[in-house]
Amino acid sequence: MNENLHIQREMDDKPGEECGVFGIYDFDGNDIAQTIYYGLFALQHRGQESCGIAVSDTEGPKGKVDSCKGMGLVNEVFDAEKLENLHGNIGVGHVRYSTAGASTRENAQPLVLNYIKGTLALAHNGNLINAPELREELAYGGAIFQTTIDSEVIAYHIARERVRSKTAEEAVARAMQKIKGAYSLVIMSPRKLMGARDPQGFRPLCIGKRGNAYVLASETCALDTIGAEFVRDVLPGEIVTITQEGIKSDTRLCQKQQTAHCVFEYIYFARPDSIIDGLDVHESRVRAGEQLYRENPIEADIVIAVPDSGTPAAIGYAKASGIPYDTGFVKNRYVGRTFITPSQEVRERAVAVKLNPLKVNIKDKKVVLIDDSIVRGTTSKHLVESLRRAGAKEVHFLVASPVVQYPCYFGIDTPYRKELIGAN
CA 231/CA 148 separation, integer angstroms: 35
| DSSP assignment letter at 421 | G
CA 386/CA 358 separation, integer angstroms: 10
368: β partners: 303, 396
- The type of residue at 414 is T
Instruction: Report the chain's C-alpha Rg in angstroms.
Output: 22
Catalytic residue status for 19: yes
> CB-side exposure of 174: number of CA atoms within 13 Å?
17
> Which sign, positive or negative, has the C-alpha torsion 157, 163, 169, 170?
negative
| DSSP assignment letter at 61 | -
Catalytic residue among 19, 206, 221, 262: 19
Residues whose CB is less than 8 angstroms from the CB of residue 21 and which lie 6 or more positions away in sequence, other chains included: 43, 92, 93, 94, 123, 124, 125, 184, 185, 186, 205, 216, 217, 218
Q: Catalytic site residues? A: 19
